Amino acid sequence: MDFDREFLTGTVTTLILALLSERPHYAYEILREAERRSNRQFELKEGTLYPALHQMERSGWLASEWRESDAGRPRKYYSLTAKGRRQARSKREQWEAIAAAMRAILEGSHA
Q: How far apart are CA 56 and CA 13, in angstroms?
A: 8
Cβ proximity to other proteins, 51 vs 60, nearer residue: 51
Q: Does the footprint of other proteins cover residue 3 (CB under 8 A)?
A: no
Q: Are 18 and 94 in contact (CB under 8 A)?
A: no
To other proteins, the closest distance from the beta carbon of 22 in angstroms equals 19
- Using rule CB under 8 A, residue 38 touches other proteins: no
Q: Report how many residues bind other proteins under the rule CB under 8 A.
A: 20
Residue 111's CB: how many other CB atoms inside 10 A? 4
Judged by beta carbon, residue 67 or residue 103, the one nearer other proteins is: 67
- Using CB under 8 A, list all residues that contact other proteins: 26-28, 45-48, 50-51, 54-55, 58, 66, 69, 71-76
